[in-house]
Amino acid sequence: MLGKSRLYWKIVFEGYAFISLWIIGFVVFTAGALFGSFSISLTKWNIVGTPEFIGLGNYQKMFEDEFFWKSLQVTILFLFNVPLNLALGLFLAMLLNQKIRMIGFFRTLFYLPSVTAGVAVSLLWMWIFNPRFGVINVLLKNIGISGPAWLGSETWALPALIIMSVWGVGGGMLIYLGALQGIPTAFYEAATLDGANALQKFRRITVPMITPVLLLNLIMGVIGSFQVFTQAFVMTKGGPNYATLFYVLYLYQNAFQWFNMGYASALAWVLFLVILAFTFLILRTSSSWVYYEGG
Amino acid sequence: MSTQMSRRSMLKWMAAGSATAALAACAVPAATDSGDSGDMADMEDITIGWARHGSEGDVPTETGLAELFKANHPGVSVEPLVLPWDDYNTKIPVMVAGGTAPDTFGCHPALMAETHTAGGSTPLTDFIDAYGADLNYDDVVYHGDALFDGVVFGLPQKSCTHQLRYNKTLLQEAGLPLPGDLYWEQGADGWNWNTFIEMGKELTKDLDGDGETDQYFYGGSGGTNQLATIRSAGGEVFDEAISTCIINSAEAVEGIKFMADLVLEHKIQPPPEMQASELGINFNTGKIVMAGGTTCDSVRDLREGYELPFEWDFVLVPAGNAGFRCWGDTDQIVISSSSEYAQEAFDWTVYRSSLQAWEEGYDSGIKLAFSDGPTRYSIFESKAYTEPLGALDIPMIREGYINTIPNPFVPRSPQPYRVLFTVMTTEVDNALRGVKTAQEAADDMCAQIEEILAENA
């Protein structure tokens, strides 16, 4: 045991010295900004003038701000993309977990869209959703259906963005694929010997074994959904008639278009608390459905 | 003897190196050219900071103008900083708040008002008076944007109006009169909402016979021309005291209804959800006959290699019941209240805003006509403007400045850009999509604007 010997302190010092750059970076650029934003959230400040301390005024204002509620509603509705992406990601991962020719090529093909730049993807989907020449409406027209105005429709703009979210399914798919490949084949062989069919193997072996990864993808999906910005900023600007006014877009507008820095900081802190609450809820329920091998 | 360095030695050297570097960083600047003697101080260059929003293409312009200024003012250098719009609108306010703003910087109308409220700009009236007749302040355009309680706080860096561009070729092929001719020959009797709609019906077409319109007369109004249209109908956003929203008045609603009817009733403008521009239905492809355009930016289509495959020109937004109204605003150069060189900064401001800068710049290859609109009425007659823009009706561009009523055109309200470019554009869009009547849209606008007023009361 080292105790508090000179060597012990030397090791401690060197350890901290090695991570000191990260600590300084974290304190200055992350923790500092975090506490700074909380201080700003207690003020009314348009950047140019002097901040005016208003206590919890910005937080109270949210309760009366219809656009705060609207943006929260839009963002929560957007959470529907999470189960869609979870299911589709798993489905694709199972398809790509087969022993077929050119499997590497197909895996790359399905993963590539998820690493494409957000703005480029948004511009591409604006074309896909174009009511007159977009590929979706052209396909619908071919089967006798008159497609909606998609991004120009209050009803369809948000579902359109949910549909578009599957474009990034490759990221989750890759994690599922890793988990699927980590399941010992002996489990499946034993189940086959016991006469289990494919569906039974999926329900009784595959799903339980990948629940830790499901949990990860669920949490990441929920957090990502609360932070949606680029699509709305590029494609709809929050419209039509605020139908795609996502929370972060509203926060951005307040901060960098209208210079309500105090209110924007308060919005950021409430978003942090909402995400924290959702994550906590998911983690609390996870003990009843997540299976960890060995404990 | 081993040449390998021990870990302890290495740490010692690293510590010594770090200390040296830290001391070097803390060192005071070398005093070689900042001696105490008066003679040395006289020889010292003063450097004025100058910031504007723009693109990389504006850097050589500003650098070139700074060199020309220095030729006239030895001993005073100007250090330009050009930032993209978004960066500019976050960095400059932070610098103003922190007292570290550049000596001179450009302010669009909203930033101008915010900077003034924060005490970040220097009053210039005394400087202008001291300068005397040589400055010829009456020649400067858009005094209103720079005035606060009768005191001048800026001189323009650039001034623009938002007008309509029209495709002369398409109009002439259709045998229709040119809007510019109607304006000059008959004024509001010839160029008004009715003639606009009539011409629109002639030139909105299904060119390939597939049952879908693929040539529209009008591309639609952005927030700038929406306000111009509402004002040309006799409407207004605020009362004079900027304490009440009046955009739901009968006159303003008529303006909104006119814009909605272009889409819903007359069908001479593509509906907003069509994303027409993405489909190649826009002014530059010749599939839109008239479209909004600024007299600063649209003229870039006249540059060599960027010309459009048809003739085009400007005309004011057609007259409503209240006559012609034209969006116009300036980027004013203000002098930071924290500047230590106010007089030198004012000299630069005067130069940057002058006809002299336009002409000297033009002679040295800087074409301000393609980036900055005229800052003075005399520039409309200068070769620096007439030679690059000779293909256009320059007197019409000047008319836009004269018909910028009121002046300043952007209301001095809390959050003017939120009011104009979020609240107004969203509700006008609702009217254009037919989901709200013009009156409903206007009432909803007022409800939101009243909230903004209450928040900032």
What tens digit of pLDDT does each residue of B41-65 get?
455 789 999 999 999 989 999 999 9
The reply to whether B18 falls in a domain is no
Residue indicated by tokens 């020959």: B185
Choosing from B371, B394, B417, the residue where a domain stops is B394
Alpha helices by DSSP H, listed for B242-303, are: 250-264
Choosing from B370, B394, B418, the residue where a domain stops is B394
Check whether A203 has a pLDDT greater than 80: yes
Q: Chain B, 183-212: which have a CB under 8 Å from a chain A CB?
A: 212
- Catalogue the long-range contacts made by A93-98 (C-beta closer than 8 Å, 24 or more residues apart): A93/A173, A93/A174, A93/A176, A93/A177, A93/A179, A93/A180, A94/A176, A94/A180, A94/A206, A96/A173, A96/A177, A97/A177, A97/A180, A97/A181
B91 CB within 8 Å of a chain A CB: no
Residues B368-394 have a mean pLDDT of 96
pLDDT of residue B389: 96
Check whether residue B184 and residue B78 sit in a common domain.
no
Tell me whether residues B422 and A242 touch, CB distance under 8 A. no
Closest residue on chain A to B86 (Cα) = A256
Residue indicated by tokens 């909605």: B260
Check whether residue B182 and residue B147 sit in a common domain.
no
Q: Is A34 left (phi over 0), alpha (psi -120 to 50) or beta?
A: alpha
* A216-245 pLDDT per residue, tens: 999 999 999 999 999 999 999 998 999 999
Check whether B269 has a pLDDT greater than 70: yes
Check whether B7 has a pLDDT greater than 80: no
Give ∠ CA B318-B320-B323 in degrees, rounded to 5: 85
Q: Which residue type sits at B157? A: Q
Tell me whether residues B97 and A49 touch, CB distance under 8 A. yes
| Residue A246 near residue A71 (C-beta atoms within 8 A) | yes
Structural domains in chain A, CATH included, are: 63-286 (1.10.3720.10)
Task: Considering only residues B61 and B34, tell me which one the structure prediction assigns the higher pLDDT.
Answer: B61
* B169-224 pLDDT per residue, tens: 999 999 999 999 999 999 999 999 999 999 999 999 999 998 889 999 999 998 99
The reply to whether B304 falls in a domain is yes
- Which segments of A156-199 are extended strands (E)? none
Tell me whether residues B273 and A50 touch, CB distance under 8 A. no
Q: Which residue type sits at B173? A: E
Q: Which residue type sits at A238? A: G
Tell me whether residues A46 and B114 touch, CB distance under 8 A. yes
Residues B423-427 have a mean pLDDT of 96
The reply to whether B71 falls in a domain is yes
Check whether residue B435 and residue B347 sit in a common domain.
no
- Please enumerate in sequence order all residues whose Cβ is within 8 A of that of B5, keeping only pairs 6 or more positions apart, or say none: B13
Check whether B142 has a pLDDT greater than 60: yes
Tell me whether residues A253 and B422 touch, CB distance under 8 A. yes
Q: Residue B297's domain is classified under what CATH number?
A: 3.40.190.10
Tell me whether residues B273 and A240 touch, CB distance under 8 A. yes
Average per-residue pLDDT for chain A: 92
Check whether residue B154 and residue B303 sit in a common domain.
no
Closest residue on chain A to B420 (Cα) = A258
**E strand or H helix at B171:** helix B168-173
Check whether A196 has a pLDDT greater than 60: yes
Using CB atoms, which residue from B90, B115, B274 is nearest to A131? B274
Using an 8 Å CB-CB cutoff, list chain B residues near A259. Answer: 93, 114, 415
Check whether residue B227 and residue B259 sit in a common domain.
yes
Using an 8 Å CB-CB cutoff, list chain A residues near B120. Answer: 48
The reply to whether B48 falls in a domain is yes
The reply to whether B259 falls in a domain is yes
Check whether B255 has a pLDDT greater than 90: yes
**E strand or H helix at B112:** helix B109-117
Check whether B22 has a pLDDT greater than 50: no
Using CB atoms, which residue from A49, A241, A253 is nearest to B118? A49
Check whether residue B441 and residue B323 sit in a common domain.
yes
* A57-102 pLDDT per residue, tens: 999 999 999 999 999 999 999 999 999 999 999 999 999 998 888 8
Using an 8 Å CB-CB cutoff, list chain A residues near B90. Answer: 47, 256
Number of domains in chain B: 2
B272 CB within 8 Å of a chain A CB: yes
Check whether residue B375 and residue B273 sit in a common domain.
no
Check whether residue B56 and residue B141 sit in a common domain.
yes
The reply to whether B27 falls in a domain is no
Using an 8 Å CB-CB cutoff, list chain B residues near A236. Answer: none
Tell me whether residues B433 and A47 touch, CB distance under 8 A. no
Output the CA–CA distances (angstroms, integers) from residue B224 to A194, A266, B136, B197, B338, in the order listed: 74, 32, 30, 20, 33
Using an 8 Å CB-CB cutoff, list chain B residues near A151. Answer: 273, 275
pLDDT of residue B19: 46
Check whether B32 has a pLDDT greater than 70: no
Check whether residue B306 and residue B427 sit in a common domain.
yes
Domain extent, residue B225, equals 161-328+405-455
Tokens describing residue A225? 């959904």
Tell me whether residues A149 and B422 touch, CB distance under 8 A. no
Using an 8 Å CB-CB cutoff, list chain A residues near B93. Answer: 46-48, 259
Using an 8 Å CB-CB cutoff, list chain A residues near B271. Answer: 152
Tell me whether residues B417 and A258 touch, CB distance under 8 A. yes
Tell me whether residues B273 and A151 touch, CB distance under 8 A. yes
Give ∠ CA B343-B348-B354 in degrees, rounded to 5: 125
SS3 content of chain A, % helix, strand, coil (to 5): 75, 0, 25
Check whether residue B207 and residue B316 sit in a common domain.
yes
Choosing from B361, B394, B427, the residue where a domain stops is B394
Which band of pLDDT confidence, cut at 50, 70 and 90, is reported for residue A291? confident
B271 CB within 8 Å of a chain A CB: yes
pLDDT of residue A47: 84
| Residue B163 near residue B316 (C-beta atoms within 8 A) | yes
The reply to whether B22 falls in a domain is no
Check whether residue B370 and residue B435 sit in a common domain.
no
φ, ψ (nearest 5 deg) of residue B336? -60, 140
Check whether residue B128 and residue B255 sit in a common domain.
no
